[in-house]
Amino acid sequence: MTATERSSSAVSTEAEDSPKYTARTAETPSSSPMSLRRMVEGRSDRCHLHRRIFRHQRSSSFEWAKISMVQWAMRLPSRYTSVHPDGKPLKPGASPRLNCDSETESTAAVEPESMFSFAFYDVAWPPSELESLREKYSSVCRMFSYEELKLATSNYSPDMLIGKGGTSQVFKAQLDGGTFAAIKILKPSVDAIHEFVTEVETVTSLQHENIVALRGFSFENYNLVLAYDYMPRGSLDKALHGKNDGTEFLVWERRIKIAIDIARALEFLHLGGVTQSVIHGDVKSSNILLSEDFGARLCDFGLAKRVSASTPHLTCTDITGTFGYMAPEYFSHGEVNEKIDVYAFGVVLLEIVSGRRPITPGSAKGQESLVGWAKPLLSSGGIKHLVDPFLGNDYDCDEMERMTLAASLCTRTSWHSRPEMSLVLKLLQGDDETMGWARSASFDGSDEEAIAAGPDLNMQSHLSLALLGVDADDTLSRCSSTERTSADGYWSRSSSFD
């Protein structure tokens, strides 16, 4: 099955203060950049649900007790890969907020071009942030005209549609010279401009064989468009969990190669090649794309953050990520460092080994979460029970041990106990000294000691939330005060858990 798409309807936690907005014509642009933020708070195609938590405020105009948590979770939006998303449109007649589970094919209906234009909203165009992109990056990145991209996609023909998500559509394009590219056009939202800018600024500074290259961009004609290298095999998520269940393509040799390729990409982001370390922030199988020969490349840097050696740790009050991949310290406390990528990579390794999704609603109690299901097997040495049934016995036992050791160490609850990506890469490559260390570390109890000595990470609350009817690609955005609020503290504000 392909990934699901969440609602395109806005959800506001402060309903009584919600302003009303009207569309405008393209001929009367506003001079106020903040008008876009106000527009999105009133109506949005992306809709993050902002959880506003105040120290002394127990209730708000949004009455949490009157909505079930499953309903709340099902309203959360999805994030999809920038280049080859595996999104799903709504079922005909389904509620746009509560039921979004039909499949998308390359022939899925293309949404009207107006759905992707900022021209109908009260926003000055282009904003100063976009103009600065032209000044900084036009010499290193191609500036496409909008008409040029329309021609390359046959006027955004349904036949060229290769992916559709809640925030964008992606088309295969044939550029001049006959080369192919993936063209992503974003829907209007306050997040879209920020992520567009972050993507361009980050990816243009990263030159690595395991990172998807940005060909160019365009913000002409009130549209935000990004052009990437085209990856013909699509995403790892599709290869593992698509209709063929990965059996036709992902033999063991390809799986271990994919794991090593992405470990290289993350090591590069964290340690090498750039003046500042980069935290990807959304490592997952749908953000790993496959070339014709199954080389793996990491994509979608819209949530990336740069950190310096002097400030390697950040604290975020607006938490956005993908359920099943979010590290517990990030979800519970907003703590950000390179180890949140390490945790997410560990989940990807478990996906590659097992063929299971990060979240499997409907499984037996305690087995809905991939990490929760796998950890007892990893601890007891029950590796055979972890292995994807489609692999059978067709895998290298030494390589499997490396993969499972890496997955176990990467998904430790305490970030202090997780290895750096340089060490993970050596482990996957079979370095003897690193293998000896990993075998010893997997039984040293350091994770339990770090958890006991550190703050409450609310791992169980983190997993419980992820299982409240939320699919693997659902996204959470949390805005809070400076108070670090636990998941248990938040959920206690609602009495309905239907």
Number of other CB atoms surrounding residue 362 within 10 Å? 7
| Structural contact between residues 102 and 90, judged by C-beta atoms closer than 8 angstroms | yes
Which residue(s) pair with 305 in the sheet?
A: 279
Instruction: Give yes or no: 282 in active site.
Output: yes
Of the residues 45, 282, 300, 447, only one is catalytic, namely 282
Residue whose token pair is 């998308």: 104
Element (H, E) at 180: strand 180-186
Measured CA to CA, the distance from residue 69 to residue 81 in angstroms comes to: 27
- Residues whose CB is less than 8 angstroms from the CB of residue 319 and which lie 6 or more positions away in sequence, other chains included: 330, 331, 334, 476, 477, 478
Return the DSSP state at 90.
P
Measured CA to CA, the distance from residue 335 to residue 252 in angstroms comes to: 35
Number of other CB atoms surrounding residue 221 within 10 Å? 18
Measured CA to CA, the distance from residue 214 to residue 192 in angstroms comes to: 17
Measured CA to CA, the distance from residue 395 to residue 32 in angstroms comes to: 59
For helices 190-203 and 34-42, angle between their N-to-C axes, nearest 10 degrees: 120
Return the DSSP state at 119.
G
Q: Is 184 annotated as a binding residue?
A: yes
Element (H, E) at 380: helix 370-380
Q: Three-class SS of residue 57?
A: coil
Number of other CB atoms surrounding residue 240 within 10 Å? 26
Going through 220-349 in order, the beta strands assigned E by DSSP cover: 225-229, 277-279, 288-290, 296-298, 305-307, 314-315, 318-322, 335-336
Binding site feature residues: 184
Catalytic residues: 282
Residues annotated in a binding site for ATP: 184
